[in-house]
Amino acid sequence: MSISKANRLSLVEQVVSQIETLIESGEWEIGSQIPPEMDLIKQFDVSRNTLREAIRSLVYAGLLITQQGKGTFVKSASALGAAFQRRIQRSSLFETLEVRHALERQGAQLAAARRDQEDIEKLRLHITACSKAAEAKDLKAYEEADIQLHKTIMASSHNGLLIDLYEHMEDSLHDSIHQIAGMSPDANLHLSIHCNLVEAIIDQDVERAIDSVNGYIAHFKKFID
């Protein structure tokens, strides 16, 4: 991606905007270290003070994080995502589960109405991965497959805003699934409900898809009430 030179109007804001574009486009990946200061000064054609002010602004917004002695790294893909993650960190597991319920119920409803053949293939792939991980009693693999399944269901909704909102919850999903898995002794029931959800979406049975989401959320709530 080519980096355009900042003009002399609102230089800090323009540098911030260009860095946000680099991050959102994936050119600067989450977890990666940003280029050296002198390289960025040349690329953006700005002063050291302007660049540093832009970096401070992005650190404050949560997109970047500075680690003393190591450098500055990409922390989040968007300001919304960073703000959302900060809010989730202050939420209880029950609150997170309630938000998951709202998003996943809507996602399942739309997915059942809108899924296409490519979605179906991905759903089958991830539910199979869940089944294999459960059979092997590999909790880590099951959690990852479960998250990928839920993300695929949301993608099958073909609603960009809903998908983005759900993406911002990914870290909290990891935490909530891990915590609940440790509380719930009935992994087979969890898998069975998810299999039913996938079948409902494939069959375009909206009501059964919604009922499936309500079913596994109600199962989770029993262990955190």
Q: Which amino acid is at 154?
A: M
Q: Domain 91-221 falls in which CATH fold?
A: Four Helix Bundle (Hemerythrin (Met), subunit A) (1.20.120)
For the domain bounded by 11-79, which CATH number is listed?
Answer: 1.10.10.10
Task: Dump pLDDT digits (tens) for 5-57.
Answer: 555 448 899 999 899 889 888 899 888 999 999 999 999 999 999 999 999 99
Best CA proximity match to 186, nearest among 144, 223, 150: 223
With both helix axes pointing from N to C terminus, report the angle between 139-155 and 117-135 in degrees, rounded to the nearest 10. Answer: 170
Express as a percent the part of the chain with pLDDT over 90. Answer: 50
Q: Is the pLDDT of residue 185 over 70?
A: no
| Neighbour count for residue 94 (Cβ, 10 Å) | 12
* Res 174: pLDDT: 62
- Taking residues 188-194, report their average pLDDT: 85
Whole-number average pLDDT of the chain: 86
* For the chain, percent of residues with pLDDT exceeding 70: 84
Residue 76 is predicted with a pLDDT of: 79
**Structural contact between residues 76 and 170, judged by C-beta atoms closer than 8 angstroms:** no
Q: Name the residue with higher pLDDT: 222 or 5.
A: 222
Digit-coded pLDDT (tens) for 89-106: 777 778 888 888 999 999
C-alpha to C-alpha distance for 108 and 150, rounded to whole angstroms: 9
For the chain, give every domain's residue range: 11-79, 91-221
Tell me: pLDDT of 72 over 60: yes
CA distance 53 to 47: 10
Which residue is associated with the tokens 């609603």?
159
pLDDT one-digit tens code per residue, 110-159 = 999 999 999 999 999 999 999 999 899 888 888 889 889 999 999 999 99
